[in-house]
């Protein structure tokens, strides 16, 4: 992983720093018959958005009545910026450090490894943030919540393995199924709920952003050309982001099946004539293989993403798009120079002298 990331970073040749922003509320006393300047500005912006993009939800931009005034949501750019390459290398460094430790001290043969789950608690939030920042989930509060919920999900995963360990250490485990145990059911349901909340937030936001760009930015351009150069570039970039989002969603979802894999290994110990320690060792290797594969896929797709970002976002538009009309406006022509003034008449009154 580290070698691939270093080669990708060297090939791209530049950092990939993205700014963060946050949402605050500005109050305006624009509920009366005479709107205040801020309310008038919001109404004018909403009218322009309706003209520019009549079929999109951005037309719902409005002021919210609160405390007898108008509450206007405002996005503020923060001074904080995150380098995505730094997140990638921190994730790789933590993973390699824990893998090196486990390769020398061995996997915990008696149950779930605390170090392995601590590694997941450190690296999986970084992976989610890289995916979220690849498009425009950049609100600080949203990123904090996604990271915290992922850490909570890792803690629930460790608790599930502890529940499995306690169950199979009992003699009655040969006659009962852990799937029917109330504690396992509650923990597993909590993990599924957290996983669904995380990826619904990411995927729903990406779908809304893609739909807005398609409906608004390119819909007006298509009226005059089948497909512009910038639309082709955006579709290429959107395809890369789609691969990044859905591949990580699918691979993260595979962790939901790992408790059942562990239970299967432990339940077959007597039949296969292997010890519980060996079964736990196999389970830990399965988790590690899935973790490394998930991170490797993220790194490969991210390198492709990083290589295309400068190409797509460093150019300038060749045409101006006027938001006041549903047309692609031609570039503003250069002003025509004024004709030179007429030559003054000759001093002899225009009479030809012979």
Q: Are residues 173 and 29 in the same domain?
A: no
Q: How many domains does the chain have?
A: 2
**Domain termination site, one of 63, 79, 95:** 79
pLDDT of residue 331: 44
Q: What angle do CA 264, 266, 269 make, to 5 degrees?
A: 110
pLDDT of residue 297: 95
Q: Is residue 303 part of a domain?
A: yes
| Alpha-carbon separation of residue 227 from 44, 161, 323, 329, 330 (angstroms) | 30, 53, 19, 16, 16
Q: Are residues 58 and 116 in the same domain?
A: no
Q: Are residues 203 and 58 in the same domain?
A: no
Is residue 265 within 8 A of residue 93, CB to CB? The reply is no
Q: Are residues 26 and 117 in the same domain?
A: no
**Domain termination site, one of 31, 48, 79:** 79
Q: Are residues 48 and 151 in the same domain?
A: no
Torsion of CA 136, 141, 147, 153, to 10 degrees: -120
pLDDT of residue 351: 40
Q: Are residues 162 and 256 in the same domain?
A: yes
Q: Are residues 99 and 63 in the same domain?
A: no
CA 333, CA 234: separation in Å to the nearest integer? 27
Angle between helices 84-105 and 114-133 (to 10 degrees): 160
Q: Are residues 58 and 194 in the same domain?
A: no
Positions of the chain with pLDDT under 50 = 33, 311-333, 345-354
CATH (domain of 303):
1.20.1070.10
Residue position matching structure tokens 């460790």: 158
Write the pLDDT tens digit of every residue in 184-194: 889 999 999 99
Q: Are residues 42 and 157 in the same domain?
A: no
Q: Work out the burial of residue 132: count CB atoms within 10 Å of its CB; fewer than 13 is exposed, 13-18 middle, 19 or more buried.
A: buried
Q: Is residue 344 part of a domain?
A: no
Both tokens of residue 247? 């591949």
pLDDT of residue 203: 94
Residue position matching structure tokens 């893609």: 210
CA 330, CA 320: separation in Å to the nearest integer? 6
Q: Is residue 131 part of a domain?
A: yes
The boundaries of the domain holding residue 75 are 21-79
Q: Are residues 28 and 148 in the same domain?
A: no
pLDDT of residue 323: 41
pLDDT of residue 273: 65
CA 229, CA 239: separation in Å to the nearest integer? 16
Is residue 198 within 8 A of residue 152, CB to CB? The reply is no
pLDDT of residue 22: 80
**Domain termination site, one of 79, 107, 124:** 79
pLDDT of residue 125: 95
Calculate what percentage of the chain has a pLDDT beyond 70.
67
Q: Is residue 50 part of a domain?
A: yes
Residues in the chain: 354
pLDDT of residue 154: 95
Q: Are residues 75 and 197 in the same domain?
A: no
Angle between helices 114-133 and 182-212 (to 10 degrees): 20
Which ranges in the chain belong to alpha helices (H)?
2-12, 37-52, 84-105, 114-133, 140-168, 182-212, 219-222, 229-254, 258-267, 269-272, 276-313
Q: Is residue 178 part of a domain?
A: yes
pLDDT of residue 312: 44
Q: Is residue 331 part of a domain?
A: no
Other Cβ atoms closer than 10 A to 165 = 16
Write the pLDDT tens digit of every residue in 274-289: 677 888 888 888 888 9
Q: Is residue 4 part of a domain?
A: no
Q: Are residues 185 and 97 in the same domain?
A: yes
Q: Is residue 67 part of a domain?
A: yes
């Amino acid at each position: 992983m580290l070698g691939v990331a270093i080669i990708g970073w060297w090939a791209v040749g530049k950092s990939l720093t993205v700014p963060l922003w946050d949402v605050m509320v500005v109050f305006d006393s624009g509920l009366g018959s005479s709107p205040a300047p801020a309310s008038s500005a919001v109404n004018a912006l909403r009218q322009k958005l309706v003209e520019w993009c009549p079929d999109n939800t951005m037309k719902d931009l409005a002021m919210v009545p609160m405390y007898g005034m108008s509450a206007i949501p405002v996005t503020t750019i923060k001074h904080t910026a995150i380098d995505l390459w730094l997140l990638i290398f921190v994730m790789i460094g933590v993973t390699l450090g824990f893998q090196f430790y486990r390769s020398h001290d061995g996997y915990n043969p008696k149950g779930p490894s605390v170090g392995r789950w601590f590694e997941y608690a450190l690296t999986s939030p970084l992976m989610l943030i890289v995916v979220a920042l690849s498009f425009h989930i950049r609100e600080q509060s949203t990123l904090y919540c996604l990271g915290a919920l992922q850490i909570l999900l890792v803690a629930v995963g460790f608790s599930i393995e502890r529940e499995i360990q306690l169950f199979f250490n009992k003699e009655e485990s040969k006659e009962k199924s852990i799937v029917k145990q109330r504690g396992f059911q509650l923990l597993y349901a909590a993990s599924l709920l957290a996983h669904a909340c995380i990826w619904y937030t990411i995927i729903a936001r990406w779908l809304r952003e893609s739909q807005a760009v398609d409906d608004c930015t390119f819909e007006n351009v298509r009226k005059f050309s089948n497909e512009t150069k910038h639309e082709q570039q955006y579709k290429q970039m959107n395809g890369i982001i789609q691969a990044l989002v859905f591949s990580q969603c699918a691979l993260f979802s595979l962790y939901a099946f790992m408790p059942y894999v562990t239970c299967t290994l432990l339940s077959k110990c007597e039949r296969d004539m292997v010890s519980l320690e060996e079964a736990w060792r196999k389970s830990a290797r399965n988790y590690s293989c899935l973790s490394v594969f998930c991170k490797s896929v993220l790194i490969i797709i991210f390198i492709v993403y990083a290589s295309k970002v400068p190409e797509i976002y460093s150019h300038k538009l060749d045409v101006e798009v006027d938001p006041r009309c549903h047309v692609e406006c031609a570039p503003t022509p250069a002003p025509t120079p004024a004709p030179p003034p007429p030559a003054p008449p000759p001093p002899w009154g225009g009479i030809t002298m012979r």
